[in-house]
């Protein structure tokens, strides 16, 4: 269990984290979602005692991080995978960590196996790919067999296979009853990984709820209609007691309607439909609405940007 209360961090005039209060419970993956610059990394560093709060408090299983004996056996974290010194082998990197934290030597081989680095354990880490570095960072987080794990944007820069592996690992760690707290700026990523969501923007708490509640509250479903006999269609729908809204470009939208019902109604009245399509507002839209006004850096949204990703994330969820 991680408990954050009134947590605040100011850098000069800049408020990076603003009176955050939330808990992260064991047994589920909790997603920590927010746009770039929202304060996720700063919060995670304060949870780990790497940064001192301006105000507020963090407790890990009821205790402050700096009062934990052998903290790696309580909390494991992946903050910045590139922070590994290249001169050592993966094995020695982990062995040094184990020895300075009272962790038995046998754990080194165990975690190397868990993350799939056994074959390259004796190789110097400076030759590692981003994905291998990420796996080594995760091995270090797992070394003390901690009940609490934190991952800061763990899938950034990974290939699909690596992303899939990390998602599966996080879920299995939570299924073992551990507390798993993982940050991302991507709603699509959270939708595939997290059961609970803590959403922040400009350092402030925007939402703290289960993923299923988030989906229920934010996924608007509607049917899109287009007809060359638009006025007659409007009359027929009106008579049937169905509420319709204008959607621009001549299209109509029926909130919460069933396509079958509308199609049959149109057929009975001899109406031609050029479009009859069930639609689902994406979780991305919901996240954008939630964080509107709390976005520090606006992403480029050209044709090649992320909407397709979001869509895929939603469908798989």
CA 242/CA 196 separation, integer angstroms = 35
Rounded CA separation 277/227 (Å):
12
For residue 135, what are its two tokens? Answer: 């796996």
- Between strands 179-184 and 75-78, the pairing is unpaired
What the block records as the tokens of 60 is: 């890990």
Stretch that binds ligand ADP, among 36-44, 66-74, 97-105, 163-171 (CB under 6 A): 36-44
Give whichever of 41 and 134 is closer to Mg ion, judged by the CB atom: 41
Q: Which stretch binds ligand ADP (CB under 6 A): 40-48, 71-79, 226-234, 255-263?
A: 40-48
14 binds, among ligand ADP, Mg ion, none (CB under 5 to 8 A by kind): ligand ADP
Among 39, 146, 154, 201, binds ligand ADP (CB under 6 A): 39
Site for Mg ion contains 41 (CB under 5 A): yes
Look up residue 317 and give its DSSP letter. Answer: -
| Shortest CB 35 distance to ligand ADP, Å | 7
Rounded least distance, CB 279 to Mg ion, Å? 33
Length of the chain: 317
Q: Cα torsion for 16, 290, 218, 166, to the nearest 10°?
A: -30
Give the side-chain half-sphere CA count within 13 A for 250: 9
Distances (CA, A) of 290 to 204, 208, 216, 286: 12, 12, 14, 6
Identify which of 71, 84, 72 has the alpha carbon closest to the alpha carbon of residue 134. 84
- Quick one: which H or E segment has residue 90? helix 90-100
Distance of CA 249 to the CA centre of its chain: 35
Closest CB to ligand ADP among residues 37, 146:
37
Near Mg ion by CB under 5 A, which window of 40-48, 53-61, 136-144, 298-306?
A: 40-48
For position 36 contacting ligand ADP by CB under 6 A, the verdict is yes
Residues 198-237 that bind ligand ADP (CB under 6 A): none
- The residue range among 35-43, 79-87, 129-137, 190-198 that interacts with ligand ADP, by the rule CB under 6 A, is 35-43
Contact call for residues 197 and 209 (beta carbons, < 8 A): yes
From candidates 16, 108, 149, 187, binder to ligand ADP by CB under 6 A: 16
Q: Cβ of residue 60: shortest distance to ligand ADP, in angstroms?
A: 19
Selected binder of ligand ADP within 7, 22, 31, 40 (CB under 6 A): 40
Give the range of 11-19, 70-78, 260-268, 273-281 binding ligand ADP by CB under 6 A: 11-19
Residue from 34, 53, 131, 146 touching ligand ADP (CB under 6 A): that is 34
Burial degree of 291 (CB within 10 A; 0-12, 13-18, 19+): buried
Q: Can you read off the two tokens belonging to residue 255?
A: 């909130």
Q: What angle do CA 129, 38, 41 make, to 5 degrees?
A: 45
Q: How far is the CB of 10 from Mg ion (least distance, A)?
A: 17
Partner that binds at residue 34, options Mg ion, ligand ADP, none, CB closer than 5 to 8 Å by kind: ligand ADP
CB of 137 to ligand ADP, least distance (A): 16
State yes or no: residue 134 binds ligand ADP (CB under 6 A). Answer: no
Sheet with 196-201: list strands edge to edge.
75-78, 148-152, 179-184, 29-33, 196-201, 204-210
Provide the binding-site residues for ligand ADP, judged by CB under 6 A: 11, 14, 16, 34, 36-42, 296
Provide the binding-site residues for Mg ion, judged by CB under 5 A: 40-41
């Amino acid at each position: 269990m991680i408990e954050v209360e009134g947590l605040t961090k100011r850098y000069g005039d800049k408020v990076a984290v603003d009176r955050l209060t939330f808990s992260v419970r064991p047994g589920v993956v909790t997603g920590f979602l927010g746009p770039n610059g929202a304060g996720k990394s700063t919060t995670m560093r304060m949870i780990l005692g790497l940064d001192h709060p301006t105000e507020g408090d963090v407790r890990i299983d009821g205790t402050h991080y700096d009062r934990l004996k052998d903290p790696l056996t309580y909390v494991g974290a992946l903050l910045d995978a590139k922070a590994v010194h290249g001169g050592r082998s993966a094995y020695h990197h982990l062995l040094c960590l184990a020895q300075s934290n009272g962790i038995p030597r046998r754990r080194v081989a165990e975690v190397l196996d868990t993350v799939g680095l056994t074959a390259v354990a004796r190789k110097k880490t400076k030759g590692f790919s981003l994905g291998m570095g990420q796996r080594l960072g995760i091995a270090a987080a797992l070394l003390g067999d901690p009940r609490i794990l934190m991952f800061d944007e763990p899938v950034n820069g990974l290939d699909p296979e690596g992303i899939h592996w990390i998602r599966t690992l996080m879920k299995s760690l939570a299924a073992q009853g551990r507390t798993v707290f993982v940050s991302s700026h991507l709603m699509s990523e959270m939708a595939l990984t997290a059961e609970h969501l803590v959403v922040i923007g400009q350092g402030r708490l925007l939402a703290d709820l289960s993923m299923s509640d988030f989906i229920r509250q934010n996924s608007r479903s509607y049917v899109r209609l287009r007809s060359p006999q638009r006025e007659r269609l409007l009359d027929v729908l009106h008579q049937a007691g169905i509420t319709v809204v204008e959607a621009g470009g001549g299209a109509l939208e029926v909130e919460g309607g069933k396509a079958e019902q509308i199609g049959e109604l149109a057929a009975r009245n001899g109406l031609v439909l050029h479009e009859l399509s069930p639609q689902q507002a994406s979780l991305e839209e919901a996240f954008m609405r939630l964080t509107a006004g709390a976005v520090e850096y606006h992403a480029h949204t050209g044709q090649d940007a992320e909407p397709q990703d979001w869509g895929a994330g939603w469908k798989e969820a």
